[in-house]
Every structure is written in structure tokens, then in C-alpha cells.
Amino acid sequence: MKILGGSGGRVLAALIARQLGLKATQVETRRFPDGEKYLRVGEDVADQDVVIIQSIHHQPDELLFEYFLLCDTVKDLGAKRVVAVFPYFAYARQDSRFNPGEAVSFRTVAKLLEDVGTAELFSIDMHQHRVGRASDVFKIPAHNLTAAPLLAEYVKSNVALERAIVVGPDEESEQWASAAAKVLGADHDVLEKKRLGDEKVEITTRSLAARGRDVLIIDDIISTGGTIIEAAKILKRP
């Protein structure tokens, strides 16, 4: 097995390879003067299972295209099977057509990942609200793992919470709030969110009793921070 890290996953690839007693395969990337990306895989991958680790936050278009180059390259070099690991998976939020003419980007990206030769995919806390499972969109095996219990374990070991309550800032986040609360042995609840635009949200309480308690807010994605800010304001109100 070979572990490769793209520009968005080199450090994680090295750490995972070390855990498996392997050394991450080097990938050389640079740019031509016109901006095109050059890519070269530094080892023989013929007849190997290849795991490509690529987080695609902040530069999703560029890092996705780099993944396509990587995947197609190792397949062309004779790799037996390619497994994608996306710690952060962009475009999952755009899983429906809300207004006429909109791109359903989640499905487009899924098709591209399949067509380039990805055999299986793993992601962590994919931002999918209306899709029940990642496998409902992908034709290949697709696994949406969660880090909520691990993050809750860290909080439990490092933060002294009094009468803790775990809060999700919207209904979709209840799945993570519930998982974290179970680890902490705490109550959990969610707020109700109404999105007023790409960067503005309105949040109101549901049946919350946070007065005098320490609150842990948990969600799957922070893009602008607007949701978390509004949730904190609501929770701090007298």
C-alpha cells in the first residue's frame, strides 16, 4: 500500500503513514509560468493500493483538480485501487437546486471523483444536511465519519465544565451535539437557525435551559463564523 498526500494533505499523510509503519510517497508539484500545475509521483505504484489524502478547504477548485491529476496519474501508472481521504470535503452543502439554474455541485463533484478512477472515499463530518448518507450520492463506497466523539474526549480531558450542556446551532447539528454529549455525560439541545443570506443568519432558542451552565457549541463547518457568533450571543443573553 502507498500513502500519498496532495498539497492539502501532506502532513496528515506523513502522520498516517508513520502509524502504519510506512513512509509517505513523495509528490512533487510546481507551476509552469502560465499557472498550469506540474505533478510527479516519486515512487512506483504499480499493482499497489494507493491512498490519496487531500483536504480541500480554502482552495477547493485547485485542490480538487490536483486530486484529479493525482488519481488519474497513479491509475495510469498501474495502481490497483485508489482510495480518497478528504478530511474536509467541499461542495457537499450544495446538494439540491434551491433556485432555477443552480448547479447541484455535490453531485457534479461526486461524478468527477468516480470518473477519474476513485474506488472508495472517506470524509469527516461532511456538510450534508439534506442528504442522509454520502452513499446516497456516490456510486462508489463512500463513508462519512465523524470526529465529534474524539473532540468531546479532548474537551473532557482538558476542560473543566460545570453542569455542561452541548448545543448545536441548528437542527442538522443535533447529530454531532448528541454524540459529543454522550461522551461527556451531558445534556444536549439545538438552536433553530434561519439563513438570511450567504453570510447572515438569524438564530432563536428552541427549548434550551443554558442559564448558569457551561456550554459547548459543536457544528460541522465554520465558514464565516456567523452562525457560531450568533449562537454565542443567544446563549449569553440574561
Residues marked as catalytic? 193
Sign of CA dihedral 180, 185, 186, 188: positive
Cα–Cα distance between 69 and 91 in angstroms, integer? 19
Strands 201-204 and 192-195: antiparallel
Q: How far apart are CA 141 and CA 218, in angstroms?
A: 27
At 106, the amino acid letter reads F
CA distance 176 to 198: 23
CA distance linking residue 174 with residue 119, whole number of Å: 31
